[in-house]
Amino acid sequence: MTDAEEYPAAQTMTERERIVRTLRGQPTDLVPWTTRLDIWHTSQQRRGILPVGLQEMDLMEIHRRLGLGRFRFVYPTRWRLRGVDLQVVFNGATRLRQTDPFVYFPAPLEYAVRDEPGETVMHFSTPVGSVRVGYAINAELVEGAADPYLVEHVIKDDNDYRVVQWILQHMEIEPYPDEYARWDALIGADGMISARLGRVPFQELMLDYYGEERAIFTMMDKPEQFRWMLDILSELRREVLEVSLATSALIFELVDNIDGMITSPRLFQRYCMPFLQEVADKLHRRGLFFASHMDGNLKPLLHLIPDSGVDIIESFSPSPLSELSFATAWEAWQGKVLMWGAIPSPIFESHVPEEEFQATISDMLERIGRGRIFLGIGDQAMGSSMLERIAYVSERLGRTVRL
């Protein structure tokens, strides 16, 4: 069968229609092709290498010209920290002060400086003490439009734990429908957004509160503390879900960043799967879909993931980004869980020969056929991704590219 027969050039559906029909197991005219270009676009602008014809376009128009759907996850809630004073300091200078702030606690990446090298420190002051978190970014990461990385977690000792307890006990979850509605209207039929719920509580402790090593030691040496944190974060996440259900979202997502080399099969089964299954059950009873952002090495969890209740592995990043090959994952998950992503970002870079890039795409498309998948760039397009290669995939998938 030829490529033209597999992916007919005639486009009779919008990208959102393809996504929705794929979710529901219905046939589509073309395989969904939707991803994130935000880092690529910002990096190209910062380095002054965005192609001339694209410099006057906004990112949404670039997506349309590429025949590439846009994906974004958006919080439909805001988290107010009652009784907390927030001070944001960058390279020693105060940038922001707020009382009772709306932030994603404990690691509000939105307040970390992204466009200048240095360290952002966020101080959370309460009636029972203060805690702090720190983000850092260097010149190379600024140029590449990467996120700052967390260098200081919020819980480092028992005093920090007591302050965090107080903050969590006084936190309020509030609806934030305007932000969700704004992005839904902006992307419209040309892509999809998911309602972001935070992380599964275990991953939140590992990545945001303690850091992996301290989290494991706390779990072993201070099990009561670890269990208290798991329980209250689970309750808060349930509240976030209940408030988020008031939106028109079809897909609800936990941005879990799971890696099976860190969250081992034993930890995943004990601490992640029960909560994932609980959320999945609540969503499925309403006819809604559940995604988890799992962009790490999933090879150790290959046969556990289909039983987790998750419908979509969003930002799936196979080899060479991880040890799990696309072919192995496709064979194990087909008909059980949907992939979103699956085309690894490194093959879009110039160090990969063009023949190898095209052969990888051809092999993937032949393997997929008319199977259910949301193709995209896993985790997302990077600053060094070649526009010509993104356009090539669009054309192979039957889209009309207008650049």
Q: Does residue 389 share a domain with residue 321?
A: yes
CB of 393 closer than 8 Å to CB of 67 = no
Q: What are phi and psi of 194, to 5 degrees?
A: -120, 150
Q: Which residues contact 367 (CB under 8 A, 6 or more apart)?
A: 326, 327, 330
Amino acid 100: pLDDT: 98
Where does residue 27 rank: exposed (0-12), middle (13-18), buried (19+ CB within 10 A)?
Answer: exposed
- Do 245 and 136 fall within a single domain? no
- Residues 289, 258 within the same domain: yes
240 within a domain of the structure (yes/no)? yes
Torsion of CA 139, 142, 147, 150, to 10 degrees: 20
CA–CA distance, 376 with 202 (Å, rounded to integer): 27
Instruction: Report the C-alpha gap between 358 and 348 in whole angstroms.
Output: 10
Q: Are strands 312-316 and 129-137 parallel, antiparallel or unpaired?
A: unpaired
pLDDT over threshold 80, residue 8: no
**Mean predicted confidence (pLDDT) in 42-47:** 96
Q: Phi then psi for 188, rounded to 5 degrees?
A: 55, -135
Who's near 280: CB < 8 A, 6+ residues apart?
A: 290, 308, 309, 310, 311
The answer to whether residues 159 and 261 belong to one domain is no
Q: CA 8 to CA 15: how far, in whole Å?
A: 15
Determine the Cα–Cα distance for residues 365 and 362; give it in Å rounded to an integer.
5
Going by DSSP bridges, is the β-strand pair 251-254/191-196 parallel, antiparallel, or unpaired?
parallel
Q: What is the pLDDT of residue 193?
A: 96
Tell me if residue 250 falls in helix, strand or coil.
coil
| Distance, CA of 324 to CA of 318 (rounded, Å) | 5
**Phi then psi dihedrals of residue 45, to 5 deg:** -65, -45
The closest of 294, 193, 209 to 244, measured between CA atoms, is 193
**Average pLDDT of span 123-150:** 97
Give the end of a domain, one of 120, 146, 165.
165
pLDDT grade, residue 403 (50/70/90)? confident
Question: Whole-number mean pLDDT of the chain?
Answer: 95
154, 278: one domain: no
The string of pLDDT tens digits covering residues 67-82 is 999 999 999 999 999 9
The 10s digit of each residue's pLDDT in 101-120 is 999 999 999 999 999 999 99
H-helix segments, 245-303: 265-267, 273-284
For residue 198, tell me if it sits in a domain. Answer: yes
Residue 340: helix, strand or coil by DSSP? Answer: strand
pLDDT for 6 beyond 90:
no
Q: Are residues 24 and 46 in the same domain?
A: yes
Query: Span 357-367, mean pLDDT?
Result: 97
Within a domain: 123 = yes
42 assigned to some structural domain: yes
Q: Domain for residue 403, yes or no?
A: no
Contact (CB, 8 A) for 216 and 36:
no
Tell me how many domains the chain contains: 2
Residue 10 binned pLDDT confidence (cut-offs 50, 70, 90): low
Model pLDDT, residue 166: 98
pLDDT, residue 342, reads: 97
Band the pLDDT of 2: cuts 50, 70, 90.
Answer: very low
Range of the domain at 254: 3-76+176-396
172 or 403, greater pLDDT: 172
Do 118 and 258 share a domain, yes or no?
no
Q: Distance of CA 163 to CAs 159, 166, 167, 286, Å?
A: 7, 5, 6, 37
The CATH number given to whatever domain includes residue 7 is 3.20.20.210
Q: Are residues 155 and 98 in the same domain?
A: yes
Question: In this model, does residue 7 exceed pLDDT 50?
Answer: no
Per-residue pLDDT, 258: 96
Percent pLDDT > 70 in the chain is 98
Domain boundary among the residues 135, 165, 195 is at: 165
* Strand-by-strand arrangement of the 312-316 sheet: 34-35, 69-74, 191-196, 251-254, 289-293, 312-316, 338-344, 374-378
Tell me, yes or no, whether 171 lies in a domain.
no
d(Cα 64, Cα 365) in Å, to the nearest integer?
Answer: 22
Residue 3 has pLDDT above 60, yes or no: no
Phi, psi (rounded to 5 degrees) for 400: -95, 120
Name the domain boundary from 165, 188, 205: 165
Say whether pLDDT at 5 is over 80: no
The string of DSSP codes covering 155-175 is -SSHHHHHHHHHHHHHEEEEE
Residue 4 confidence (pLDDT) above 50: no
In a domain, 339, yes or no: yes
Rounded Cα–Cα distance for residues 222 and 81 (Å): 26
Q: pTM to 2 decimals?
A: 0.94
In this prediction, residues 288-305 reach a mean pLDDT of 98
8 A C-beta contact, residue 329 and residue 378: no
